[in-house]
A and B are shown apart, each in its own frame.
Chain A
Amino acid sequence: MTEPIKVLTANIDKPNSASIETYGDYAAARKALAMKPEDVVTLVKDSELRGRGGAGFPTGMKWSFVPKNAPKPTYLLCNADESEPGTFKDRVLIEQDPHLLLEGMLIAAYAIGSCPMGYIYIRGEFYFGATVLDKALEEARAKGFLGKNIFGTGFDFDMTVHRGAGAYICGEETGLIESVEGHRGQPRVKPPFPAVVGVFGGPTVVNNVETLACVPLIVKNGAEWFKGFGTPKNTGPKLYCVSGNVKKPGVYEFPMGINLKELIYDHCGGITGDRKLKAVIPGGASAPMLLPDEIDLPLNFDAVMKAGSMLGSAGIIVLDESVCIVDAVWRLAKFFAHESCGQCTPCREGTNWLESILDRLERGEGRPQDADLLLDMSDNIGGKSLCALGDAAIGPVISSVRKFRDEYVYHVTHKSCLPGTRRYRRLDMPVAAH
């Protein structure tokens, strides 16, 4: 059995873990600032660190896309808009170990070059996290770890915490950039990509909290040490968020690639009430569902992708046999319809339509053609929308219709949920408008 590790979470159980006294004196940043920026990028490239926000894009490569000698300053944005349902790993790091993130940002800013300013875009609901970060920033500034001439190297860098107003779409990097600039939070059309034209017109790197938190560890311990966790191409420690019908939900840290079945049954204590497993969503709300016979797989980017789903932000939602799948998918579809920014056609109209159909099915007003309609419509949304929200919205719908078609048909023919399943919504309550 793979044992949990304490690498990213090394500090979080310590008393007063958020203070700079507990954390230390930014030894990794001192080491990095003594290196050449290119060497730091190479080090991160060698570590094969992949973005922890969901897409799994190699971080070192992302940094190297930033053009040198751009006319405008480069910016570093930390994406702390953790709003994917089922994901709560960044929150732990922000609230318990903010200095790990700050040190990671300092190193990242140094590595990408000519970066005078970093922004931590934190979702508005993380009020406590924002206050922790603000306090941590004060501490770091007081120690001279931020500001002018850091560690006497002549490197200037500072950061600010930007609180969002509670929009999932602002976790999309160009939506985040728009929001930081003070505009309506809606994604931009690409190209140009943020690495070329990002926030305030300057080249911009957007990294997830957990990604940046890995950076000091890589600098401190080296790329080989980092690669010691996990398998080639899927390296490093990884935080897994487990929620849903398990006995011990929570954030677990393992080397990348823990077996999903082992995670659920051994580490999380199995299913609540020892019921049967029905489906697992392995990577946050947008990941396609996996059936019980598909879960014997390592939780890394490539293996989950091969299984037809995605690791995403590693928000694992466990559904047991008592869950009405149409109700669960309806709830997810409602989330995406509610969070669609409304600018592009397939997402604005499509997500709302998906939700209406699922709502109708759940109310016992389903029609025989609905299952096929959901699939065909999803095809018209997927890959056609301006940003990835459209693709995210169809993940649970397509997978559930394919894998639980019988249950959809049952809703149409019997005008009710499968016996033994329950829904979490009271149908007599009016559905609130968006």
Chain B
Amino acid sequence: MAKVTIDGVEVDVQDGINVIEAAKAADVHVPHFCYHPSLTVVGQCRMCLVEVEGMPKLQAGCATPVKDGMKIHVYNDKVDKARKGQMEFLLINHPLDCPICDKAGECPLQDYSFNYGSVESRYGEYKRTYPGMDRTAIGPHVVQNMNRCIHCTRCIRFTQEITETKELGFFKRGAATEVGVFPDTPLDNWMSACVTDICPTGALTTREFRFESRVWNLDSAESVCNGCDVGCNIFVGHRNGQVFRYRPRVNPDVNDHWLCDYGRFSHERYETDRVVVPKVRNEDDYLGISTWIEALDAIAVAFNGTSGEKIAVIASANMTNEEAWLAKKLFADNAGAATLDVMVDAIGPIKMKTRTEWILGTQGAPNFRGVQNVGVGAKTTKTVEQLMTEGAAGIDVLYICDAGFSDRAKDPQVIANLRQAKTLIVHSWDVNHPLNEVADVLLPATVHVEKEGTFTNLQGRVQRIHQAYPPKGQAVTDVEIFRRIGVKLYPAAAEFRSADVEEMFETMRGDVPALANVVWSDDGSGAVASQPA
């Protein structure tokens, strides 16, 4: 440990960390562009210059390790002059086109120019431009505007050190230096869009989010990506019930600062018409719009007219732990369903880097492990596989908790097999899903950004997701659906009285061994995650 003084505040920090990190302990922010905690230190932007007592020249905060007894000044006149000087240099050739730039509002260059920039420019020359490089698609997802670049090389180091694909490089030199892709090697790797997150200017933007929304008009919800079982922490950027983008949320133990392209753009699957009302098949074999009361009545009729052996339930790895637990309570413990199982599609593998190691996402849904943990699939007479391939003949009620439980559920043969059940009840949010048409009761369900709850990722880490916006139309979350059915069928049962998922989680601790010792942590960066169970 080293005792250092930063702007008069004495703090104990780990020996040898750099001044920028040490200053965080003293709650002092050292402005910087090129420094990034997960990339090597290059000391290029010179924005983080600080004064260290005893050293004649200002030192780059990123490249200066702290030593015991060091006295550091982050804010004084000398440093301020230098910082304003660097800011001036960065801005003389920057187009200052914030009004039409997608980065505006979350742009470090813009933020620092408010703090350290000058209202009047002393630059009386022509600005440097990079003709032909102002809206260049350098890869399938990334658009480059070289005029806005401040040459911090974060993107270059990302492709060199994280993905190790090395598509990007510095070309030319001096004031003409440019960042670009090597000929015939577009920026096409599985995490390419991460360069737009780490870019401190609007030089790199994603094709998908470009000109879609001003960032300050977006609301943000802390959630977890549901693309695979890695469970990358994300911010859901949304407005008026529409998802505009996912952004990685820092969690050094899971996805660090990164997010894969598949996950990042997986919200595009929600850009479809939604199932917004319940539907019930009537005597004329017509699947017509109904009220929730009619739909629940139809479900009650189906369940009451049969015994547990003839009830089969297909859960989904897209369900949260709470939904899965409530489904198990409802179907296995109360209705006595003999078949309750879950399956997951294989995917990838998708590589994701934590701060220290690579982890591999191999499942196409976020919570297979969590759903199994609560006991789904532990005791089942038939597996999902059997139901899909051998058919559901002899089953009175087949309850599918999520039409999207597998991609194979779109296969006509599989649909025909499942349809062999006497009554088919389906939750679905996608109006185009082929299972919808064959259901006897179709319930409007929600996508994961509309849910509250927890997912358990491949590390066994339980992570909370938060609702970005309320469900569409008459759709309700699965927790609410199971609760409504539970109250209707088993009014005496206590677990269906509340839909508060946080309260439910506390109840689950006593019931599910894997959740008993979950400890919520908050590292201060907004990432909330538990220790692996």
Listed in ascending order, the chain A residues whose CB lies under 8 Å from chain B are 167, 169, 184, 186, 189-191, 337-346, 348-353, 356-357, 360, 367, 369, 373, 377, 379-381, 383-386, 433-434
B93 touches A345 (CB 8 A): no
Chain A residues closer than 8 Å to B174, beta-carbon distance: 337-342, 348, 351-352, 434
Residue from A189, A340, A357, A384 in contact with B175 in the complex, judged by beta carbons closer than 8 Å: A340
Determine how close the nearest CB of chain B comes to the CB of A123; give it in whole angstroms: 16
Q: Known: A337-B175, A341-B173, A367-B124. Contact between A349 and B43, CB under 8 A?
A: no
Chain B residue nearest to A365 in the complex (CB): B124
Contact B86 A353 (CB under 8 A): no
Scan residues 226-274 of chain B and give those whose CB is less than 8 A from a CB of chain A. Answer: none
Residues of B within 8 A of A191 (CB): 63, 65
Stretch at the interface among B45-53, B194-202, B403-411, B474-482: B45-53
Residues 120-132 of chain B, each 1 if its beta carbon lies under 8 Å from chain A, else 0: 0011110010000
B124 partner residues in chain A, CB cutoff 8 A: 357, 360, 367
A189 near B173: Cβ-Cβ < 8 Å: no
Kindly supply a per-residue 1/0 record for chain B positions 50-87, scoring 1 wherever the CB is within 8 Å of any chain A CB and 0 otherwise: 00000001101011010000000000000001100110
20 contacts between A and B (CB under 8 A): A186-B170, A189-B41, A189-B43, A189-B44, A338-B174, A340-B174, A341-B177, A342-B173, A343-B153, A343-B177, A344-B44, A345-B89, A349-B92, A353-B125, A357-B125, A360-B124, A379-B81, A380-B81, A384-B46, A433-B176
Q: Contacts of A383 on B, CB cut-off 8 Å?
A: 57-58
Rounded to whole Å, the gap between the CB of A342 and the closest CB of chain B is: 3
Knowing A191-B63, A433-B176 touch, does A342 contact B170 (C-beta < 8 A)?
Answer: yes
A120 to B306, CA, bound (A): 89
Q: Are B45 and A345 in contact (CB under 8 A)?
A: yes
User: In whole Å, how far is A296's beta carbon from the nearest beta carbon of chain B?
Assistant: 29
A-B contact count (CB 8 A): 114
Please encode chain B, from 284 to 301, with 1 for each CB lying within 8 Å of some chain A CB and 0 for all others: 000000000000000000
Q: Which one of A184, A339, A353, A434 has the highest number of Cβ atoms from chain B below 10 Å of its Cβ?
A: A353
Is residue B88 contacting chain A, with contact meaning CB distance below 8 A? Answer: yes
User: B44, B62, B93, B153 — which one has the most chain A CB atoms within 10 A of its CB?
Assistant: B44
Q: Is B388 an interface residue (CB 8 A)?
A: no
User: Nearest chain-A residue to B152 (Cβ)?
Assistant: A345
Are A345 and B173 within 8 A (Cβ)? no
Decide: A380 near B86, CB < 8 A? Known: A344-B45, A346-B46, A349-B93: yes
Bits for B147-172, please: 1 = Cβ < 8 Å to A, else 0.
Answer: 00011010000000000000001101
Which residues of B sit under 8 angstroms from A342, Cβ to Cβ?
Answer: 151, 170, 172-177
Q: Say yes or no: is B11 at the interface (Cβ < 8 Å to chain A).
A: no
Contact A343 B151 (CB under 8 A): yes
Closest to B87 in A: A345
Q: CB within 8 A of A346: which of B85, B125, B172, B173?
A: B85
Q: Name 16 extra pairs, CB < 8 A, besides A190-B63, A369-B122.
A: A191-B63, A191-B65, A338-B174, A339-B173, A342-B170, A342-B174, A343-B42, A343-B44, A345-B47, A345-B89, A345-B150, A346-B85, A348-B177, A379-B85, A384-B82, A386-B46
B90 part of interface (Cβ distance < 8 Å): yes
Residues of B within 8 A of A373 (CB): 122
Of the candidates B63, B89, B153, B170, the one having the most CB atoms from chain A within 10 angstroms of its own CB is: B89
- Residue ID in chain B nearest A169 by CB atoms: B173
| Inter-chain contacts of B45 with A (CB < 8 A) | 344-345
Known: A189-B43, A346-B85. Contact between A340 and B173, CB under 8 A? yes
The closest CB in chain B to the CB of A338 belongs to B174
Smallest CB gap from B175: residue in A: A352
Scoring B47, B58, B82, B88 by chain A CB atoms within 10 A of each residue's CB, the highest score goes to B88
Question: For residue B170, which residues in chain A have a CB less than 8 angstroms away from its CB?
Answer: 184, 186, 342-343
Nearest-Cβ distance from residue B156 to partner chain A, whole angstroms: 10
Question: In whole angstroms, how far apart are the Cα atoms of A343 and B89 in the complex?
Answer: 13
**Which A-chain residue is minimally distant from B46 (CB atoms)?**
A345
**Contact across chains for B151 and A348 when beta carbons are under 8 A apart:** yes
A357 to B151, CA, bound (A): 23
A346 to B93 alpha-carbon distance, docked (Å): 12
Q: Chain A residues near B176 (CB, 8 Å)?
A: 342, 433-434
| A377 contact set on B, CB distance < 8 A | 85
Interface hits, B175-196 → A, CB 8 Å:
175-177
- Chain A nearest CB from B279 CB (Å) reads 62
User: Which B-chain residue is minimally distant from A370 (CB atoms)?
Assistant: B124
Shortest distance between the CB of B22 and any CB in chain A (Å): 16
Q: Are A384 and B92 in contact (CB under 8 A)?
A: no
Convert B82-106 into 0s and 1s, putting 1 for each residue whose CB lies closer than 8 angstroms to a CB of A: 1001101110110000000000000
**What separation, in Å, do the CA atoms of A349 and B90 have in the docked complex?**
7
Contacts of B86 in A (CB 8 A): 345-346, 380, 384
Q: For the complex, give the distance between the alpha carbons of A434 and B175 in Å.
A: 8
Interface 1/0s, chain B 125-146, versus A by CB < 8 A? 1001000000000000000000
Provide the residues of chain A in CB contact with B151, threshold 8 Å. 342-343, 345, 348
Give the contacting residue for B90; candidates A169, A338, A345; CB below 8 A: A345
| Chain B hits for A169, CB < 8 A | 173
Q: For residue A373, which residue of chain B has the nearest CB?
A: B122
Q: Which B residues lie within 8 Å of A381 (CB)?
A: 85
| Known pairs A342-B151, A348-B177, A349-B175; A380 contacts B85 (CB<8 A) | yes
Cα–Cα distance between A257 and B125 once the two chains are bound (Å): 44
* Chain B min CB distance to A301 (Å): 18
Q: Residue on B with the closest CB to A356?
A: B125
Question: Which of chain A's residues has its CB closest to B49's CB?
Answer: A384
B51 to chain A, nearest CB (A): 11
CA distance A379 to B65 in the complex (A): 25
Q: State in angstroms the CA–CA spacing of A167 and B86 once bound together.
A: 25
Q: Known contacts being A346-B85, A386-B46, is A353 close to B123, with CB within 8 Å?
A: yes
Give Cα A191 to B64, complex, Å.
Answer: 7
A370–B169 Cα distance when bound, in Å, is 36
Q: How far is the CA of A155 from the CA of B47 in the complex (A)?
A: 47
Of A337, A348, A351, chain B has the most CB atoms within 10 Å of the CB of: A348
Question: Which A residues are in CB contact (< 8 Å) with B177?
Answer: 341-343, 348
B94 nearest CB neighbor, chain A only: A349
Per-residue CB contact flags for chain B residues 312-341 toward chain A (1 = under 8 Å, else 0) read: 000000000000000000000000000000
Q: Which residues of B contact A369 (CB under 8 A)?
A: 122
B-chain residues with CB within 8 Å of residue A339 when the two chains form the complex: 173-174
Chain B neighbourhood of A345, CB < 8 A: 44-47, 86, 89-90, 150-151
Query: Which residues of chain B are near A186, meaning CB under 8 Å?
Result: 170
Task: Report which of A189, A356, A357, A379 forms a contact with B42, defined as CB distance below 8 A.
Answer: A189
Q: Is the CB of A189 within 8 A of B60?
A: yes
- Nearest residue (CB) in A for B56 is A383
**Closest B residue, CB atoms, query A343:** B44
Q: What residue in chain A is nearest B33 (Cβ atoms)?
A: A345
The answer to whether B92 and A353 have CB atoms under 8 Å apart is yes
User: How far is the CB of A305 from the nearest CB of chain B, in Å?
Assistant: 14
Q: Which of A345, A348, A385 has the most CB of B within 10 A?
A: A345
Instruction: Count chain B CB atoms within 10 A of each CB in A184, A342, A367, A369 and give the residue with the most.
Output: A342
Residues in A with CB closer than 8 Å to B60 are 189, 386
Given contacts A384-B49, A434-B176, contact A346 B89 (CB under 8 A): yes
The distance in angstroms between the C-alpha atoms of A380 and B91, with both chains bound, is 14
Which residues in A have their C-beta under 8 angstroms from that of B173? 167, 169, 339-342, 434
State A122–B405 Cα separation when bound (angstroms).
66
In chain B, what residue has the closest Cβ to A348? B175
B172 cross-chain contacts in A, Cβ below 8 A = 342, 434
Most chain B beta carbons < 10 A, residue from A339, A343, A386, A434 = A343
How far in angstroms is the closest Cβ of chain A from B48?
11
| The residue from B92, B122, B125, B150 contacting A360, defined by CB atoms under 8 A apart | B125
Q: Are B89 and A380 in contact (CB under 8 A)?
A: yes
A76 CB to closest chain B CB, in angstroms? 26
